[in-house]
Each structure stands twice: as structure tokens, then as C-alpha cells.
Structure 1
Amino acid sequence: MSENDNNSRVDKFDKRRKNTKSLTIFTVFGSILLVVFIALLVFGGGDNQDMADESETNQAANDSSESNNNNDGSTSDGQKENSAGNDSNSGDENSDESSSDKDEQQTNNDEVKKQEVESSDDNVVKAYTGNWQPVGTEQTGPHTTNYNEGSQDRVEMRKAISVATDLNQDSLTMWWIERNGDQKVVVTASDANETKTYRVYMTWVNDEGWKPTKVEELKENDQKYRFE
């Protein structure tokens, strides 16, 4: 065997060894890359999943917050509606109070002991006295009767007339007020349709208001002529 054949054989062996070594290096390097890639998928994917979960959690929290804000608005609107409802109910309460006052007034009238008395006035159908109580007042201190329309005395006189008769306080007409002595008056009043007319005598009780003392039911309104 020649020296050239030996050299050629050695060269082939070296090339084969180098190729095998390179293949091994590439295989190892590829395996490392594969492991790294798998690790990235596993751990990186977990992080991404955590981030996704966190994002979903934050989104849920935001949605919850917005929902709560919307609920607050609804509650506010509800309160406004309730407030508006309370305003409407206020009128009902006032109406109930008015009805209650009338019921109380009727009860007090039923409890009043009336006694018919004689009258020398031909215009009087019947007259009676009663144990009425003062109707109450917002006035305090020394009292001077104010006969002007809309005065507190006029307001409280209307109540006294209603207590002593069957006239409605809100709709009765006070035709004439006449002084009848110190802190005493006589008021001629009728219902709105003038189907019933009364002459009501009353006296002032300090800090307690006007107190009816006698009522005369009239045949006709003898004070209307003043306004004709």
C-alpha cells in the first residue's frame, strides 16, 4: 500500500470524525434550543396565562365598579323618585290632617251639650247655647281684635264659627262682624250657597282664642243688604 493511499484514508477518517463531531455538536445544540423553547412555552405561557387571568380579573373589577356606579345612579334616581313621591304624599298627609281636624271637630260637636234658648228676634229660627271650648290661638300677650280680612282674628273666628255650627270652615262666608262688648263679637255667616245663615256670638279668652257662647239660626241673611 502506497503512502498516498494511507494519507487519503487518514484524511477520510479525519473528515468523518469531524463530521460526526459537528453532527453531535449540532444535535446537542439543537436539543438545548428545543429544551429552552419548551421551557419558554411552559413558563412563558404560564406568565401569559397569569397576565391574562389578571387582565380578566381587572376587567371584572372594572365592570363591577361601573355596575356599582350605575347602581348608585339608579339609587339616586330612585331617591329622587321617592322624594317626588314623598312630595305627592305630603299633599295626601295634609288632606288626611284636614280630614282628621274635621273628624275631631265633629267629635267635639257631638260632645257639646247644647241648650235651646228663647229669642225675641223674628228672624231667628232657633237659638242655642253650648259648652264650647276656646278654639286655640297663635296670638299671645294683650289682645286687641283685628277685624281686617286675612287677620289672625278672622282666621280663628272662622274656626270658632265652624265649631259652633255645621258650616265648613274653608267655604263659609263671614258677612258681618259686630262688636258686642269688651273682647266680644257677633258674626253673621253662611254657607257658600247661602242655604243656611247663622249669627254666632263669641268671646275672647286670653292665650286660648275665641270661644263660641251662643248660636242663632236665621231665616234669612239680614246683613247681605250691606253689599247690594
Structure 2
Amino acid sequence: MSDFTNNSRVDKFEKRRKNTKSLSVLLILGSILLVVLIGVMVFGGDESAEQPTDEKAGQTTGQDGQAGNSGDDEAGNTDEEETDENNAQDDSTGESDTEENNTQDNESDAQSGTEQVEPSDDNVTEAYTKDWQPVGTEQSEPHTTNFDEGSQDRLEMRKASAVATGLDEESLIMWWIQRNGDNSVISTVSNADNTEYYRVYMTWVENQGWKPSKVEVLKENDQEWRFE
């Protein structure tokens, strides 16, 4: 009876030992599985967490790229502005060259077909005549010369002086006008820079206006002293 009891105790102990061992194994396996699951969750979560960061990084890069394009656009706009300025300068230069060419052409036209004559004094470097036409008039007959500034005679004398010398009518300076007998005058004029000086002899032609008859090119402006 005691042997049976002992055997039963031994069997129970063995079963408990085996159960404990199985339970330990299961616990170990469960722990390993739990660690694996935790690891999967941790690493999987990190990857998913990194994704928005990559997207943000991509968005930041895109913004930088746009900023770069904006800079390129600004540089392009600057180039266009510089091009416009250069074009404006070229146009301005072209206009100046055109005005100079027109003045030279006027002077050339004024002197074409001229005949050299004797100078009237030592201040004259060159004198010439030409068969100029009267410049026309808005005045009626009988004509009386009006020397006042702004008068119709002064305006038409300016035009005649420009035709004879080739100077620009709008910019030439009329320094002095003096009588030279009946219905005749002499105007002393210069260019706008006061570097070219002329005496223009002209005569009134009835109903046709002032007609240049002779031009003298002067060494110096001999009428400027009146305004010093």
C-alpha cells in the first residue's frame, strides 16, 4: 500500500515537472513571439512614421525648387529690363545720330550749288551766294519790317536764316538783326551750342517773303558782346 502511494506521488511529481517544463517552454516561446511582435511593431511603426517626414522633405525640396525658379525669373526679368534699357539707349543714340545727320544734310543742301565770293571783313572765313527762293510769308502788302521779338517778320527771318545756313530752325539762336538798306537786313545767327556763327543777308520780295542772298561764315560771334 505504501509502495503504491509512493509510486502515485512520483507519477504526480513527474507530471508536474513535465507540466512545469512545458509551461516554461511555452512561456519562453511566448516571450520570443512577443519580442518578435514588438520588434515588428516598433520597426514597422518607425517606417510608417518616417514616411510623412520624407513627404515633408519632398515638399521642402519642391519649395526650394520654386524659390530657385523664382530667382531665375527675377534674373530673367532683370535681363529683360537691362535689354529694354539698352534698347532705349540705342533708340536715344539713334535719334541723336539722326538729328546730327539731318543737320549735316541741311547744311550740305544749303551749300550745294553755292558760289564763293569775297569776305566782307577779317572775321569772315568763308562767304558764298546761291539762288535761294523766298521762304514765303503770311503778311500782306504793303510790307513794313517789324523787328520786334516774336513778330511775323522775325519768325520768317529765322526760317530764311535756317534755309541759308542749314541750321535747325527751332534751335538756332538769332543774336542780332540790322537794317541793310531798304527792305534788306543782315541777321547774325549761331547753332544751339554757339559754336558755329553766320551772317545771313536777305531781302524782302513782295508777296513772297524774305529771300536769302548771301551767307558769311564767321570766326567768332561778333554780336555776343551785346548780351554780356
TM-score when scaled to structure 2?
0.57
Structure 1 residues 194 and 64: alpha-carbon distance in aligned structure 2, compared to 1, 3 A threshold: closer
* Shift in Å, 1:7: 4.2
How far apart are the structure 1 equivalents of 2:15 and 2:163?
A: 135
Structure 1 residues 194 and 15: alpha-carbon distance in aligned structure 2, compared to 1, 3 A threshold: closer
How far apart are the structure 1 equivalents of 2:18 and 2:30?
A: 18
Contact 2:175-2:189 within 8 A present in 1 as well:
yes
Match of 1:188 in 2: 187
* Shift in Å, 1:216: 4.3
Q: Please give the secondary structure, in 2, of the residue aligned with 1:130.
A: coil
Match of 1:198 in 2: 200
Cα deviation 1:36-66 (Å, max 9, x = unaligned): 3453466445434543432332111010112
How far apart are the structure 2 equivalents of 1:14 and 1:165?
A: 139
State the Cα RMSD in Å.
5.1
Match of 1:21 in 2: 22
Match of 2:12 in 1: 11
Structure 1 residues 202 and 58: alpha-carbon distance in aligned structure 2, compared to 1, 3 A threshold: farther
How far apart are the structure 1 equivalents of 2:159 and 2:102?
A: 11
Match of 2:98 in 1: 97
Structure 1 residues 99 and 127: alpha-carbon distance in aligned structure 2, compared to 1, 3 A threshold: closer
* Shift in Å, 1:114: 3.3
Contact 1:189-1:199 within 8 A present in 2 as well:
no
Cα deviation 1:7-60 (Å, max 9, x = unaligned): 432332232233233223323323433443453466445434543432332111
Q: Please give the secondary structure, in 2, of the residue aligned with 1:2.
A: helix
Structure 1 residues 57 and 211: alpha-carbon distance in aligned structure 2, compared to 1, 3 A threshold: farther
Amino acid at match of 1:17: K
Match of 1:73 in 2: 74
Structure 2: any 5+ residue segments left out of the alignment?
140-145
Amino acid at match of 2:95: N
1:35-184 mapped onto 2 (5 Å cutoff): 35-40=36-41, 43-86=44-87, 88-89=89-90, 91-109=92-110, 112-114=112-114, 128-130=129-131, 148=149, 154=155, 158=158, 161-165=161-165, 170=171, 172-176=173-177
Structure 1 residues 82 and 24: alpha-carbon distance in aligned structure 2, compared to 1, 3 A threshold: same
Contact 2:200-2:212 within 8 A present in 1 as well:
no
Contact 2:184-2:204 within 8 A present in 1 as well:
yes
* Shift in Å, 1:197: 1.9
Structure 1 residues 199 and 107: alpha-carbon distance in aligned structure 2, compared to 1, 3 A threshold: closer
TM-score when scaled to structure 1?
0.57
State percent identity of aligned pairs: 15
